[in-house]
């Protein structure tokens, strides 16, 4: 029998690092279990930030559905398998990744921390996993790409009512070396979100989460045209499309927020109609309620990037997507933020995978909290998963380091789960590793 000591995987490396620091009385920057992480993040967040990031649609049933779907499955560990190493790596749309985890796009991250998207980008890069730059981010994609160096990045696209703006966003994604264009389908309108509505709080109306737009040359052109048109008409206000704002303390705070979040100096912005005009323009054109398969069919002519459609839940939509030539889909209900009591993403994954077969690339988003969840999703047919709220909570608790540690913890737990379940690589994680959970 060999006495060679096997190489340590990311699970043991992360565990030993935490325990070694514990000897000196130093604790992790973020809790290693989700419940405590969530509680700490809520404590660190303002009410409006928590409502936006943690809240869901309607009565929150879709969020609960997402978690209940994971609880309906149980992992069956296998013993005496002899595996001493695991391979968590995979090739995804032409890029080799160290683990089947990506960071999902989450808008208005500056609610949780200043320069949010740059910090998230660095946290992703520290783990070698892709960050899907949010179309509703608080830092331009160019800034985030620079922060990531050579690490992989994808770019989310919300389909604007202005087709030239769509093309401009795509061109910028290509220019920063994006590995894929992720078109989000399920937010042509905002869902009914009581937590935000009860506070009268929409971050975009205060200039948060529109940095991709204010950094875009086509969007700047639209804003200038609207200001010029309003001036020519002698209309009051920046964009000339809404009545003048009533002067209240809240309105003044909103104006100051718009001014702070707009590119350029605060004093110049305060004297300029551009910050308010940019917000008004964004709210008018950021997403196209009439988005159709005809729009999506034009993508192959508009970009050479791999195209990923995010928000697929019905098997027929999945088949149509792949039939139209897209490279991958993300089975997602937007983290439960769009339709109340929608099907759980994990349940939809099972139906979609059975419908499209084993070959197409299918990712899962919504409800992933732990490495064991990642294992379950892979066993049910996902090629990789997108992590959302957990890393945002890490951002709230400990900034860039919090993002880095949350992602490292999820990957570490996946590695240990694979080791203890007897799976040597991702291909070995199959439906046979699960059984229905009788206690669920």
The one catalytic residue among 43, 96, 314, 334: 334
Query: At 7, phi and psi to the nearest 5?
Result: -65, 145
Q: Does residue 81 carry a catalytic annotation? A: no
Pairing of strands 95-97, 90-92: antiparallel
Name the nearest CA neighbour of 134 among 395, 422, 436, 344.
395
Q: HEC string of the chain?
A: CCCCCCCCCHHHHHHHHHHHHHHCCCCCCCCCCHHHHHHHHHHHCCHHHHHHHHCCCCCCHHHHHHHHHHHCEEECCCCCCCCCCCECCEEECCEEECCCEEECCCCCHHHCCCCHHHHHHHHHHHHCCCEEECCCCCCCHHHHHHHHCCCCEEEEECCCCCHHHHHHHHHHHHHCCCCCEEEECCCCCCCCCHHHHHHCCCHHHHCCCCHHHHCCHHHHHHHHHHHHHHHHCCCCCCCCCCCCCCCCHHHHHHHHHHHHHCCCCHHHHHHCCHHHHHHHHHHHHCCCCCCCHHHHCCHHHHCCCCEEEEEECCHHHHHHHHHCCCCEEEECCHHHCCCCCCCCHHHHHHHHHHHHCCCCEEEEECCCCCHHHHHHHHHCCCCEEEECHHHHHHHHHHHHHHHHHHHHHHHHHHHHHHHHHCCCEHHHCCHHHEEECCCC
What is the C-alpha separation between 330 and 181, in angstroms, rounded? 12
- The angle, 0 to 180 degrees and rounded to 10, between the axes of the packed helices 141-148 and 116-127 is 30
Which positions are annotated as active-site residues? Answer: 334
């Amino acid at each position: 029998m060999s006495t060679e000591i096997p190489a340590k995987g990311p699970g043991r490396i992360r565990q030993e690092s935490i325990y070694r620091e514990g000897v000196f009385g130093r604790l992790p920057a973020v809790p290693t279990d989700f419940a405590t992480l969530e509680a700490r993040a809520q404590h660190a967040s303002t009410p409006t930030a928590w409502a936006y990031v943690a809240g869901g649609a309607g009565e929150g049933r879709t969020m609960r559905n997402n978690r209940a779907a994971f609880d309906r499955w149980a992992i069956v560990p296998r013993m005496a398998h002899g595996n001493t190493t695991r391979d968590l790596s995979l090739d995804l749309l032409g890029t080799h990744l160290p683990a089947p985890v990506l960071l999902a796009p989450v808008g208005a991250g500056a609610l949780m921390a200043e320069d949010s998207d740059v910090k998230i980008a660095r946290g992703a890069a520290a783990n070698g996993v892709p960050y899907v730059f949010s179309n509703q981010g608080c830092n331009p994609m160019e800034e985030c790409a620079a922060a990531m160096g050579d690490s992989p990045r994808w770019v989310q696209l919300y389909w604007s009512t202005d087709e030239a703006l769509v093309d401009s966003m795509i061109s910028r994604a290509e220019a920063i070396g994006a590995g894929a264009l992720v078109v989000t389908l399920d937010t042509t309108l905002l869902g009914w979100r009581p937590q935000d509505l009860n506070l009268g709080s929409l971050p975009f109306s205060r200039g948060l989460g529109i940095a991709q737009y204010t950094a875009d040359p086509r969007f700047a052109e639209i804003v200038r045209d609207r200001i010029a048109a309003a001036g020519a008409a002698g209309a009051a206000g920046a964009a000339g499309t809404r009545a003048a704002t009533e002067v209240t303390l809240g309105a003044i705070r909103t104006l100051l927020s718009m001014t702070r979040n707009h590119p350029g100096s605060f004093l110049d912005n305060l004297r300029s109609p551009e910050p308010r005009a940019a917000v008004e323009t964004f709210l008018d054109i950021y997403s196209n309620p009439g988005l159709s398969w005809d729009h999506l069919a034009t993508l192959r002519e508009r970009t050479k990037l791999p195209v990923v459609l995010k928000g697929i839940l019905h098997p027929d939509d999945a088949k149509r997507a792949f039939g139209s030539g897209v490279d991958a889909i993300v089975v997602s209900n937007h983290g439960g933020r769009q339709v109340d009591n929608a099907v759980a993403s994990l349940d939809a994954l099972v139906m979609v995978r059975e419908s499209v077969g084993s070959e197409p690339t299918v990712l899962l988003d919504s409800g992933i909290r732990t490495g064991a969840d990642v294992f379950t999703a892979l066993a049910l047919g996902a090629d990789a998963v997108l992590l959302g709220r957990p890393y945002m909570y890490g951002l709230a608790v400990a900034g860039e380091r919090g993002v880095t540690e949350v992602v490292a913890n999820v990957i570490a737990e996946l590695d240990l789960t694979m080791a203890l379940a007897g799976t040597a690589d991702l291909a070995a994680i199959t439906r046979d590793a699960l059984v229905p959970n009788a206690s669920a």
